[in-house]
Structure 1
Amino acid sequence: MAGLISLSSKERPKLSVQKLLLILGLVGLIWAPFFIYPIFVMKVLCFALFACAFNLLLGYAGLLSFGHATFFGGAAYFTAHAVKEWGVPPELGILIGVAGASLLGLVMGFVAIRRQGIYFAMITLALSYMFYFFCLQAAFTHGEDGIQSVPRGYLLGVLDLNNSFNMYYFVLAIFLIGVLIIWRFINSPFGMILKSIRENEQRAISLGYSVAHYKLGAFVMSAALAGLAGAVKALVFQFATLTDVAWQMSGEVILMTLLGGIGTLIGPIFGAGFVATLENYLATSEFPVTIITGIVFMVCVLLFRRGVVGEFYASRLGRKLGFEYRR
């Protein structure tokens, strides 16, 4: 996370402020299940990782996918089936889900990256619809009923994941590892080349880079991390349904990312937390959730073009604290 912060040697006092904020965030996550319903916090973490994975593709490669629910929901199905029907341990079930999502990302990305802009987005949407109807008809997904009563099992044969606190800290560890992978990826030479492709693809081609290979690599990495989020989600809620692969799920992760701020690591996490909290609150009220989220999206587009976190980074206070918005 600290990699998002661009600092000079004269800004070391500000560095301590940013480190303090990071430490406070980690401490808050560690103590969160003692004050907030653990299942809800685990939901936020799963969707935050999903949004970060999507932001890796949109924010750093400049590719807008309307089909990321395929990887999230596909991994949820693969993991749920492997754990329930094959009896594999949860860690192996998650690996199976991530592998399945990566394979889907390789196939979908190979087809989609041949086009750009809205054509790329429409191809991912069409392929996502194809996978949705596959899940509707496939025998192992159980159609509209989905895969239910998925056992959490024992992590490494020792840690009982049926205990909410054990499950929470396992999900937190997965989330932190996922975010660390994304941070390392975007700050690697590969990530730098992706940003250059996003800014000026023709110039990257003229410099001799194989743009298609870099785009495909980013697509598969994003799919794998989205699959990791979906696989963990299947164990947390102990089911996988068509909702996980529906186009609405893809729209939801786009909203989370845009609301928080594309091109930032913290933004999608904030957006996921806000949307999940809003949906959780409205679930017990008479307000239609879709209308409210639509209004939130409109306000974000009109007033927060960079997203909430992006606007804070670009503000005077954000710059004073040493944050820098780069897009």
Structure 2
Amino acid sequence: MTDATISAAAKGRFLTLEMALILIGIALLILAPFHFYPVFLMKVLCFALFACAFNLLLGYTGILSFGHAAFFGGAAYFTAHAVKEWGLSPELGILVGVAGATVLGLIIGFFAIRRQGIYSTMITLALAQMFSFFCLQASFTHGEDGIQGVPRGHLFGFIDLNQPLNMYFFVLAVFLIGIFIIWRIINSPFGMILKSVRENENRAISLGYSVARYKLAAFVMSAALTGLAGGLKAIVFQFATLTDVSWQMSGEVVLMTLLGGIGTLVGPIFGAALVAALENYLATSEFPVTVITGIIFMVCVLVFRRGIVGELYASRFGKKLESTPEN
């Protein structure tokens, strides 16, 4: 049996394991609201989708953004305003948020992809900070108070989202749709090109690919999916505030993704659940949350270079998968 055959078999087992974990996770999520607090679970799902959308850009395209809070918080503001002031239904309000985040992603991505490395990252941070200042001054955001009392309303006109279980299963459905879209992207020919750009951008250029277009497309897709998470969050918690567009929010999604494991589908979900659970626990204690999360970030960078899930995958499939050709 050749090395290529062994590598292909290892990659097949890797994908089978990841799919099995996803199916087990779905089953657990269906049962979870009957045993745990639904609002906490909805928070985990919103941030897990946020982290997976961010991972599409960092883990599969190799672009580090410190401006994703602009898409997350921007969508939260747009959704909250559309539902509360315009009287739109929750599903239409979320679509407004996604559209707004997509436009922001197109604008920020247009400038960010023209540089590489730390310069690209700093562009995303600078533009996101500009948007944060805009949200502070704009009249429709209500400044430091934010948009409060956003009505959950009725899904499709007849499903009352004020009922916790109805709200939870709506969030779960949106989360699963978002994860399926991400899975479909990364396992498509388009996704393979993104991976080739991540591994060797010059090689991708030499093969004739318009790298700038692919990077911009990935940026916009990541922003749109982040907007889906942000809009959903505004409906769940019924408010949108400056915290949603702050640089700390951008740092938090980086932590979630790195902690779970970049370049994996399950990793960011695990990282988001871990960070949300930790914050929920520390909120009732005297320990400062930011200090603890900072320590966790340093430990993750020093000990779990691939993230927790990434290290587990690497310990089982790492050497074989590394020898598997991407194209």
The answer as to whether partners of 2:97 and 2:227 remain within 8 angstroms in 1 is yes
> CA separation of 1:128/1:18 partners in 2, compared to 1, >3 Å: closer, same or farther?
closer
Partner of 2:119: 119
| Equivalent-residue separation in structure 2 for 1:111 and 1:47 (angstroms) | 26
Partner of 1:264: 264
> CA separation of 1:124/1:41 partners in 2, compared to 1, >3 Å: closer, same or farther?
same
Partner of 2:300: 300
Unaligned runs of 5+ in 2: 1-6
The answer as to whether partners of 2:75 and 2:101 remain within 8 angstroms in 1 is yes
The Cα offsets for residues 50-98 of structure 1, whole Å up to 9 and x where unpaired, read as 0000000000110000000000000000000000000000110010000
Question: Tell me, what secondary structure is at the counterpart of 2:170?
Answer: helix
- Summarize the alignment of residues 169-184 of structure 1 with structure 2, pairs less than 5 Å apart: 169-184=169-184
Q: What is the letter of the counterpart of residue 132 of structure 1?
A: S
Partner of 1:234: 234
> Is 1:25 matched with 2:25?
yes
Question: Tell me, what secondary structure is at the counterpart of 1:94?
Answer: helix
Partner of 1:251: 251
Question: Tell me, what secondary structure is at the counterpart of 2:147?
Answer: coil
Partner of 2:4: none
Q: What is the letter of the counterpart of residue 51 of structure 1?
A: A
Deviation at 1:20, TM superposition (A): 4.9
The Cα offsets for residues 12-59 of structure 1, whole Å up to 9 and x where unpaired, read as 7x9876665433221110011111100000000000000000000000
Partner of 1:213: 213
The answer as to whether partners of 2:22 and 2:266 remain within 8 angstroms in 1 is no
| Equivalent-residue separation in structure 1 for 2:252 and 2:141 (angstroms) | 22
Deviation at 1:206, TM superposition (A): 1.1
| Equivalent-residue separation in structure 1 for 2:211 and 2:11 (angstroms) | 37
- Summarize the alignment of residues 1-327 of structure 1 with structure 2, pairs less than 5 Å apart: 8=9, 20-315=20-315, 318-319=316-317
| Equivalent-residue separation in structure 2 for 1:130 and 1:256 (angstroms) | 24
Kindly tell me the number of residue pairs found equivalent between the two proteins: 318
Q: What is the letter of the counterpart of residue 135 of structure 1?
A: C
Deviation at 1:324, TM superposition (A): 5.2
| Equivalent-residue separation in structure 2 for 1:22 and 1:235 (angstroms) | 25
Q: What is the letter of the counterpart of residue 29 of structure 2?
A: L
Q: What is the letter of the counterpart of residue 164 of structure 1?
A: P
> CA separation of 1:136/1:199 partners in 2, compared to 1, >3 Å: closer, same or farther?
same
> CA separation of 1:184/1:140 partners in 2, compared to 1, >3 Å: closer, same or farther?
same
Question: Tell me, what secondary structure is at the counterpart of 1:262?
Answer: coil
| Equivalent-residue separation in structure 2 for 1:82 and 1:309 (angstroms) | 38
Question: Tell me, what secondary structure is at the counterpart of 1:284?
Answer: coil
Unaligned runs of 5+ in 1: 1-5
How much is the aligned-residue C-alpha RMSD, in angstroms? 2.1
The Cα offsets for residues 233-282 of structure 1, whole Å up to 9 and x where unpaired, read as 00000000000000000000000000000000000000000000000000
| Equivalent-residue separation in structure 2 for 1:10 and 1:185 (angstroms) | 18
Question: Tell me, what secondary structure is at the counterpart of 1:287?
Answer: coil
The answer as to whether partners of 1:61 and 1:197 remain within 8 angstroms in 2 is yes
Deviation at 1:9, TM superposition (A): 9.5
TM-score normalized with structure 2 length: 0.93
TM-score normalized with structure 1 length: 0.93
Question: Tell me, what secondary structure is at the counterpart of 2:140?
Answer: coil
Q: What is the letter of the counterpart of residue 168 of structure 2?
A: Y
Question: Tell me, what secondary structure is at the counterpart of 1:32?
Answer: helix
> CA separation of 1:209/1:16 partners in 2, compared to 1, >3 Å: closer, same or farther?
closer
Question: Tell me, what secondary structure is at the counterpart of 1:295?
Answer: helix
Deviation at 1:8, TM superposition (A): 2.7
